[in-house]
Structure 1
């Protein structure tokens, strides 16, 4: 049976839209005080969500942590700070800037009190608030790292979270030491990257094999 040309065109446009969505989200995050991490591979579709190595319950908890922490920081500290909140497996990464050490410590205290938070990694810098152009550059760097991880056929790109702040790259995910080393080297090779901070949760190759969904056999897909 010959394929319908109009149907193929619609499918092609939908595919292009899905591929562009993570970058659109990332660009939007550059304008927000609290934003979600750039999850490599995006968060579109059941298959992509399934390759996130957290449980579905933990993914929801992490989203709730980011929303609650963002609101509380906005209520307490307002626009005198620039703080990005990224939660992965209940570990909350704070990046951005505060104008003094007191606000930096207060931000950590506020986030630590949010329900379900296991640990806070406070990477806030004390100094001038970054400009929109600097944040846009961080988004571009994150996009380049994302594309490089997608091109690496020996990695599941959606297993990695990438957060970029002032050219410093923070990499999160539940990955093996082999995957962590490979992804770190890829990130270090991207133009504009000043430093790579590994924040992985290392798992064994055996655990990875045990928890990775097996592809269906040919006779089971019919």
Structure 2
């Protein structure tokens, strides 16, 4: 009994930890920008421009507020934006609310495309959302462990065990990350929403290593 209780406490303690690791991006649907760095270092390795990163944050805030103002607590919808592509996940009770949510978000400034993955049916429980957070954490750890990937290139959203993967990545990186996510326990399905770039473009845009300091 004591062992089970200790294990449960550790699982609960992991939830706020994952939120911190996610760089403030972790919400009920568990979006996770994966990478081992935070602050200025994470911004520098993000494959979006700094201006686009700011725009994506603004889109999420504005869209979330407009959805709350117009649809209230009768829906559970999470908004995640990457390179102006906006992913909607969660649940509504009617098809009308699902369509209305997409319309509201499409009218937000700087939105380029809306991917509406909201499900019509019962609103998810807190335990289901907590499990999504744990699954997202496992995916993060697996991507960080992969030596052939830049983990910070991937933006992961988990909803009801379904994994949505975004990012500006090559086909090789997309395939590898998808296979990694599929191998994580608790994952039911992986949906790729990547923006595919060439290996040449990746080489051009990759951060250059710092020059060694000159010896005196």
TM-score normalised over the length of structure 1: 0.85
Residue number among 186, 190, 201 corresponding to 2:184 in the alignment: 190
Alpha-carbon distance, 1:25 to partner: 4.2
Question: RCO higher in 1 or 2 (8 Å CA, sep ≥ 6)?
Answer: 2
Q: CA deviation at 1:148?
A: 0.3
Partner in structure 2 of residue 21 of structure 1: 20
Contact 2:18 2:133 survives alignment (8 Å): no
Task: Find the counterpart in structure 1 of residue 117 from structure 2.
Answer: 123
1:61: how far off? 0.4
Change (3 A) 1:62 1:26: closer
TM-score by length of 2: 0.87
Q: Distance in 1 between matches of 2:215 and 2:158?
A: 40
Supply the distance in 2 between the matched residues of 1:56 and 1:97 (Cα, whole angstroms): 31
Q: Following TM superposition, by how much is the alpha carbon of 1:21 offset from its aligned partner in structure 2, in angstroms?
A: 1.9
Contact 1:36–1:66 (Cα < 8 Å) also in 2: no
Provide the residue aligned with 2:7 in structure 1: none
Runs of 5+ in structure 2 lacking a partner? Answer: 1-16
Q: Does 1:149 align with 2:127?
A: no
Q: Which runs of 5+ in 1 are unaligned?
A: 1-17
CA distance in 1, matches of 2:157, 2:48: 18
2:59 is aligned with 1:65 = yes
Question: Which ranges of 4 or more aligned residues in structure 1 deviate by more than 6 Å?
Answer: none
Q: How many residues get paired?
A: 200
Which of the numbers 105, 121, 124 marks the counterpart of 2:99?
Answer: 105
Q: Match of 1:179?
A: 173
| Offset at residue 145 of structure 1 (A) | 0.1
